[in-house]
Amino acid sequence: MLTPGFAANEQDHNCIPVLQLLVREFLKKGIDIQIVTLEYPFSDQPYLWHGAQVFPCNGQNRKWLKWRTIQRAIQYSNKILNSPTKPITNHQSPITNQQIHSFWQGWASYIGERVAKQYGIPHFTTLMGQDVLPANRKHLRNLSPERCARLIAVSEFQNQMLEKSTGFRAGQVIPWGIAESEIPTEIPLDKKLDVLGVGSLIPVKNWDKWLNTIALAKTSNPNLQAELIGGGPEQNRLEALARRLGIEKNVRFAGELPRAAVLARMREARVLLHTSDFESFGFVFAEAAMNGMQIVSTPVGIAAELGGACDDSEAELARLVLQSLAINETLLPSIHYTMSMVAEQYLIAILR
């Protein structure tokens, strides 16, 4: 596997959680996983993660280190592909073929394609986010029908965005799933938090719209209690905006929390409000549904597929929040896909 980042250790649960969950499912199925990370963790030392070997290139997201990072990734890939291949143990006939799988249509996919051609082995790429948008033209402009057949989108919404950008569609759509071990056994009957927001405090998440929506909803519900979980460069500016809107007593900025704490907080909240400008999938929607939350969102990712109430207008989003809060019932966990199902779909896709 080639990826810009991966968990730095077994306690690092916040770095691309969906990728961690997928790798763990592959490991359960007896697959030998070797992971090359381009940028993160910021380390030069290979390490084991739940039995998977990880080779960090320590690119540190620095442009001036890009050439060195690419060369290290190629060297690690050569080392891995020249090593003996362990068979997949849970199939009737042992499978020993090698595959390269990259995440994001970017430098990871560039390296994957280069190494795959060198060794004559299959290479697939999972599209992960804004890599399908026109701004990524450097890595989209050379796509061909054959290459797109080896692309995997994580939602139909994302695949439509790819088609708008390039005229091509990914060969397959495989959504992310929930780890069965994380599905709650019970949901609290009395939820004290009205509205929750979760995500990095970065411009694409459009937290201005989130705060403006809360301010509009407050006019009808002065005691509305909301919380925003996440850290990032926008935090100070957003806290100042909350004060200007007069909602500093209604909104708590919780900062970045461990993944387990975020899931626990979801079980205590009634509505997930998400106002991002773009989501390829929006794993936060699946997590919220799993924890019995109602979803109000801009029309991105899988929000609508999960039955979420979607709109772009702040006034309409505020109305939908109030409408959701008026529903006086506790929702059960809603699970559309498990990560075990996702891993099986990947195996069908890449081993056919």
Query: In CATH terms, is domain 180-325 a member of 3.30.479.10?
Result: no
Mean pLDDT on 236-262: 96
Asked if 211 and 191 touch (Cβ cutoff 8 Å), the reply is no
Give the model's confidence band at 85: pLDDT under 50 very low, under 70 low, under 90 confident, else very high. low
Q: Render pLDDT for 106-128 as a digit per residue (tens, 0 to 9).
A: 999 999 999 999 999 999 999 99
Query: Taking a C-beta distance cutoff of 8 angstroms, is the pair 119, 130 a contact?
Result: no
d(CA 53, CA 351): 21
In the chain, the amino acid numbered 98 is Q
CA pair distance 344, 197, nearest whole angstrom = 31
The single-letter DSSP state of residue 135 is G
**CA gap 40, 63 in Å, rounded:** 14
Q: For 2-177+339-351, CATH number?
A: 3.40.50.2000
Average pLDDT over residues 217-245: 96
Report which of 298, 281, 280 is spatially closest to residue 197, judged by C-alpha positions: 298
Across the range 147-170, mean pLDDT stands at 97
Residue entry with tokens 């890009």: 66
Say what percent of the chain tops pLDDT 70.
Answer: 96
- Read off the pLDDT band of 88 (50, 70, 90): low
- Average pLDDT rounded to a whole number, residues 246-265: 96
Let me know: does 303 contact 274? Beta carbons within 8 Å: yes
Integer Cα distance of 240 and 292 in angstroms: 31
Q: Is the pTM of this model over 0.75?
A: yes
User: Do the Cβ atoms of 150 and 169 come closer than 8 Å?
Assistant: no
How many angstroms separate the CA atoms of 138 and 146, rounded?
Answer: 18
H/E segment holding residue 204: none
Average pLDDT on 9-36 reads 94
Angle between the N-to-C axes of helices 17-28 and 339-351, in degrees from 0 to 180, rounded to the nearest 10: 70
Residue-range domain boundaries for the chain = 2-177+339-351, 180-325
* All residues at 6 or more sequence positions from 329 whose CB lies less than 8 Å from its CB, including other chains: none
pLDDT at 350 over 80: no
Which distant-in-sequence residues (6+ apart) come within 8 Å of 349 by Cβ? 124, 152, 172, 174
- Give the model's pLDDT for residue 188: 86
Alpha-carbon gap, residue 75 to 134, rounded angstroms: 31
